[in-house]
Amino acid sequence: MDRPLGITVSRHIMDLQRMHPEATGDLSGLLSELIVAAKTISAEVNMAGLADVLGMSGKTNIQGEEVQKLDEFANNTIKRRMARCGYICVMTSEEEEGIIPVTDGYEGKYTLAFDPLDGSSNIDVNVNIGTIFSIHRRKSDHGKPPMGRRSTDVAEGWEPAQGKPGSEEDLLQAGRDQVAAGYIIYGSSTMLVFTTGEGVYGFTLDPSVGEFFLSHPEIKIPERSKYFSVNEGNYCYWDENMRRYIDHLKQNDKESGRPYSSRYIGSLVADFHRNLITGGIFLYPKDNKSPDKPTGKLRLLYEAAPLAFIVEQAGGRAITGDGREIMDIEPDQLHQRVPLIIGSRYDLDEAEAFLACRK
């Protein structure tokens, strides 16, 4: 029987580009390169499930090469591919302390922040993990050349930034200024979900042809949910308001649909993805567990901000619980942590009211 003709992710990206006649194609090129990296990681993750050996680095594979840990493999795959793609000027990764420069001569106009393999505690136990990415235009991009100039000219008061190395400052930008963000979830199937600010689209990898096909067009998160996702083992470290909110969700009140069901995998991408599709609220609030993480566990640039962009595009919200929208936070450090409360709009509004309560 003939396969139904699906819309490939490349076709979708080309269609997006066509809607913007001023587009240069750089963002499309960048996304396409990232997708190749994602397919490479997906293949390796699937192998790990079968072989059950890849968690231990220091081993050698059948070719006598040293086997990398999966998170190290994912980091290197993205870093090496993107360093020579020609569309970005600098990167940051959860796996590396400092900025990651691109190869000399390949500097482009975007920046890339990524978590190569999120959900590290699940990597070795065959539970869903994912890659998260966030793309900004470089701050030092001085825009289009003035009339009559080509981008290679240097005019008075205007200098093309493309071709120059990017800096930490280029990466330290608010979520609100993202041009694209997304994640790849390595689950029962591999899915790519992303936004360029014009809705959220999901694609499922057909491994038999190695192509992502549109499976979830224009994703909208249900406005109200019946699921909450939080590590309740941290209950004793939360403040009073947070405890009251979770107690509230667990109370029996048929009219308002409580108690909510609890769903927590411990892999942000997987917990977020489920809530995006079914509706739900995910919380990793601030707690007093460890003095070095007073502001929660999750990272702003490559965990909270990209998922906030996606959830807002899908009709939901993302907040810190202390009066700030995740998208508005101006970062001052690459690996800055933030409290993250994200998901269905009604639930976010309710959580916000509980958490702001002063008594």
Site for Mg ion in 106-145 (CB under 5 A): 115, 118
**53: closest CA among 103, 102, 4, 124?**
124
Residue nearer to ligand AHM on the CB measure, 72 or 206:
72
CB of 116 to Mg ion, least distance (A): 9
CB of 275 to ligand AHM, least distance (A): 12
Residue nearer to ligand AHM on the CB measure, 119 or 202:
119
CB of 170 to ligand AHM, least distance (A): 23
Total number of residues that touch Mg ion (CB under 5 A): 2
Residue 121: contacted member of ligand AHM, Mg ion, none (CB under 5 to 8 Å, by partner type): ligand AHM
Residue 273 tokens read as 């993805």
Q: Is residue 271 a contact point for Mg ion (CB under 5 A)?
A: no
**220: closest CA among 177, 268, 263, 275?**
275
Question: How far is CA 217 from each of CA 10, 26, 181, 188, rounded to the nearest angstrom?
Answer: 14, 23, 16, 19
Residue 76: contacted member of Mg ion, ligand AHM, none (CB under 5 to 8 Å, by partner type): none
Coil, helix or strand at residue 26 = helix
Residue nearer to ligand AHM on the CB measure, 131 or 313:
131
Question: How far is CA 356 from each of CA 134, 239, 285, rounded to the nearest angstrom?
Answer: 29, 11, 13
**302: closest CA among 75, 87, 142?**
75
Residue nearer to ligand AHM on the CB measure, 108 or 280:
280
Residue 266: contacted member of Mg ion, ligand AHM, none (CB under 5 to 8 Å, by partner type): ligand AHM
Coil, helix or strand at residue 82 = helix
Residue 145 tokens read as 């050349």
Residue 267: contacted member of Mg ion, ligand AHM, none (CB under 5 to 8 Å, by partner type): ligand AHM
160 close to 81: Cβ distance less than 8 angstroms: no
CB of 204 to ligand AHM, least distance (A): 21
CB of 96 to ligand AHM, least distance (A): 13
- Number of other CB atoms surrounding residue 223 within 10 Å: 13
Chain position whose Cβ is nearest to Mg ion: 118
Using CB under 6 A, list all residues that contact ligand AHM: 94, 115, 118-121, 231, 266-268, 284, 297
Residue nearer to ligand AHM on the CB measure, 9 or 132:
132
The torsion defined by the Cα of 72, 75, 81 and 84, in degrees rounded to 10, comes to -110
CB of 190 to ligand AHM, least distance (A): 17
Residue 261: contacted member of ligand AHM, Mg ion, none (CB under 5 to 8 Å, by partner type): none
Taking the C-alpha atoms of residue 116 and residue 184, their distance in angstroms, rounded to an integer, is 10
CB of 7 to Mg ion, least distance (A): 30
Residue nearer to Mg ion on the CB measure, 115 or 170:
115
Residue nearer to Mg ion on the CB measure, 222 or 306:
306
Output phi, psi for 124, to 5 deg.
Answer: -90, 5
Residue nearer to ligand AHM on the CB measure, 110 or 309:
309
Q: Going by DSSP bridges, is the β-strand pair 190-195/211-216 parallel, antiparallel, or unpaired? A: unpaired
Q: Going by DSSP bridges, is the β-strand pair 227-230/261-262 parallel, antiparallel, or unpaired? A: parallel
**350: closest CA among 260, 237, 231, 263?**
260
Q: Which residues form the interface with Mg ion (CB under 5 A)?
A: 115, 118
